[in-house]
Structure 1
């Protein structure tokens, strides 16, 4: 059955891919984005677009909506350390306003874009949802605060919500891919080196307790991630807040990513070893058993080479 959904931050990387999946599934989609980090051309052709702030969501939300998918947030870890107030104001304050607008309009279904950054330094891997949450940045703390707010809203007011804690999202879906400014994610940064747009890729630390000494991360294809959101909409149950990790359960090191980019692109990728960055755990790998069990999610694009190939195709399209 088709529905009507508000997608906040739907002009950004993940939001645009999810919005496109909703359109393809026959839903009515309204994208709300202030374009501070998103791009107008990222809004799918089949979706309506409203340029505005989530604090003003009450202007557009009414009882005709079946739910909200909430992506709008600042997400740069380093920036959050320098400007924590920006993250509390937007990520937490903005979401508080959105939840209030949903309550007033009687919209009782929410899928929230959370993050593995809520866990901080893991005690063990793979990471399960019951692991301690000790975020090491204001960004992670702001997302965790929102998770707590959503739990309160579900308990007190009957909201049906699912928080999806992403691990490392990568890849592209058709015309939708990563283009952060400034870019901070590993795969697009390495691809920029392959394109000749950067001289070398910085490898932050090669003395971690991992097989090749570099950090290990769990990469998930953005299309697999999008499919989880549609399943989460169906799974959202009034009065309950479900938290699910989204990852493949496989870890790849920085050097494995670099070597995969060399293989996919056929271009050299020089490396420069730099000091470790504070707060970078050696290994971050998800257990996605909850998403598989509760949502019926079955990611099908776990191959790193395929993820890199899709990201490379998108990068080449943008370079034309």
Structure 2
């Protein structure tokens, strides 16, 4: 059995989450998929997967082997494309990752037009609120909202977002006025893990070098952006999110930004791709398609926030 082909089957099994799913994707029977994985396990002398009747899970050795397989398969694809990518129409499976809310609100609607324009490209959109290694996890493009430190990636700037504190006019009318960050400690807080469960930090105040940290006992803890926004709109308290999370609600006046003068500097937004991947037609097609659209979106977001 060809080892490269077996690696493709192994990675397809991980991506699809089952032997049957890999078989459907590759046009093979589950038994053929199982034989390919067994071949790799015999070749490496170790179990790569723990199987049950319902699930598969990588072993510790399997995790390392999967990361290596993804790198090898990516390198092979890039080597093939170096010869003919100029003549190749964009095609194949494009894997994109983004934070959940950004994927739902920004990328997913855009991908409808992208898929229509490039019918030979299939897209897997992985929306994950956790750190992602593009190379180890076989990601072609990522949308990242953060200051960057990884020099192994190509970064295309597309905009910036603010971290804002927001509440409904109804809530604000019934509770004490918020003039400074410390006032938040006396309010009902709707908190999320990614924005601080029991404390929020703010820039240093005048004459100080120490950031302001406001401690609170949250009234409501949620784990999705949509839940936080809905709870704030319903008047249950104050929440902190990125500006694009609440742009619609601020525009229709169901939420108001509070403490705009006490915000941290905006965070940059980039499209990221591993070095060499821009030579792949499907990746270049998406980056060229998405970059101007995202830049227009974030520019409009900034204009709306200052209107």
Q: TM-score w.r.t. structure 2 length?
A: 0.29
Could you say which structure has the higher helix fraction?
2
Flag the structure with more relative contact order, 1 or 2, with Cα contacts below 8 A and sequence separation at least 6: 2
Could you say which structure has the higher strand fraction?
2
Q: TM-score w.r.t. structure 1 length?
A: 0.28
